[in-house]
Structure 1
Amino acid sequence: MARSDQTPVFETVTNAQAARFYRLLGPLLARREVHKSLGGVPWDDDGKTWIVALDGKEVTGFIGVTKAGSVESLYTRPGRSGLRAQLVAAAVDTAGDRALHATVSHSRTPAYTAAGFKVDSQTVNFAKVHRPANGAKA
Structure 2
Amino acid sequence: MARSETRTLTNADPDFYPLMGPYLSNRAVVKSLGGPVWDDPGKTWIVLLASGQVTGFIAVTDHGHIESLYTAPGHHDLRTALVKAAVEQAGDRPLTAVVSHSRAGHYKAAGFAETRHTVNFTTLHRPSRETAS
TM-score scaled by length of structure 1: 0.91
Q: State the partner residue of 1:134.
A: 129
Confirm whether residue 61 of structure 1 aligns to residue 56 of structure 2.
yes
Q: Is 1:82 matched with 2:77?
A: yes
For 1:93, which of 88, 92, 105 is the aligned residue?
Answer: 88
How do 1:1-138 and structure 2 match up within 5 A? Answer: 8-17=4-13, 19-137=14-132
Conserved? CA contact 2:104–2:122, under 8 Å: yes
Give, in whole Å, the separation in 2 of the partners of 1:90 and 1:23: 22
Q: Note the C-alpha offset of 1:137.
A: 3.3
**Letter of the structure 1 residue corresponding to residue 57 of structure 2:** F
Shift >6 Å, 4+ stretches: none
Q: How far did residue 101 of structure 1 move?
A: 0.1
Instruction: State the Cα distance separating 1:16 from its structure 2 match.
Output: 1.0
Cα deviations across residues 3-62 of structure 1 (Å, max 9, x unaligned)?
5xx7x4221000011x21012101111311001111111111111000001112000011
> In the comparison of the two structures, how many residue pairs are matched?
133
What is the aligned-residue identity percentage?
54
Gaps of 5+ in 2: none
Q: What SS does the corresponding residue of 1:60 show, helix, strand or coil?
A: strand
Letter of the 2:70 counterpart = Y
Supply the AA of the counterpart residue of 2:7: E
CA RMSD of aligned residues (A): 1.5
Q: What are structure 1's unaligned runs of at least 5 residues?
A: none
SS at match of 1:86: helix
- Structure with higher helix content: 2
